[in-house]
C-alpha cells in the first residue's frame, strides 16, 4: 500500500463528511499521522488509533467508530506496510 492508496481509502469513507465541499487533500494531516504509526500499531488496535487521530484533529463529533474500523479493515486487507512515510516524501517522489 502506498500513500495514494491510503488517501483513497480515507477519502472514500470521508469520516467527517467534508466532501464535496473540500479538496482531496483535506485529510492529509490525518493521513500523515496515520502513516507515522501504521507499521507499528497492532491490527486489532488500528481502528481505535485512527478514531483517536481524527478525534484529536476534529474534536468529539467525528461520527461512529464503526466507520473508523471499516477504514482500518480496508487498510489491513490491502497490507499495512507503507512505501512512503509522509506526504512530503510522496510529493517529492511525484515531482522528480
Return the SS3 of 44: helix
pLDDT of residue 7: 94
For the chain, the structural domain boundaries read: 3-94
For 25-67, the pLDDT digits (tens) are: 999 999 999 998 988 888 889 999 999 999 999 998 899 999 9
Here the cell at position 63 is: 461520527
The residues near 26 (Cβ < 8 Å, ≥ 6 apart) are 18, 19
C-alpha span between 1 and 9 (Å, rounded): 11
C-alpha span between 75 and 46 (Å, rounded): 9
15, with CB counted inside 10 A (0-12, 13-18, 19+), is: buried
Amino acid at each position: 500500500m502506498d500513500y495514494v492508496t491510503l488517501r483513497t481509502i480515507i477519502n472514500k469513507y470521508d469520516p467527517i463528511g467534508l466532501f464535496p465541499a473540500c479538496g482531496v487533500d483535506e485529510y492529509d494531516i490525518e493521513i500523515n499521522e496515520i502513516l507515522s504509526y501504521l507499521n507499528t500499531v497492532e491490527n486489532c488496535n488500528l481502528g481505535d488509533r485512527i478514531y483517536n487521530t481524527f478525534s484529536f484533529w476534529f474534536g468529539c463529533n467525528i461520527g461512529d467508530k464503526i466507520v473508523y474500523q471499516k477504514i482500518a479493515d480496508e487498510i489491513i486487507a490491502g497490507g499495512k506496510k507503507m512505501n512512503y512515510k509522509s506526504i512530503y516524501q510522496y510529493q517529492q517522489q511525484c515531482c522528480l
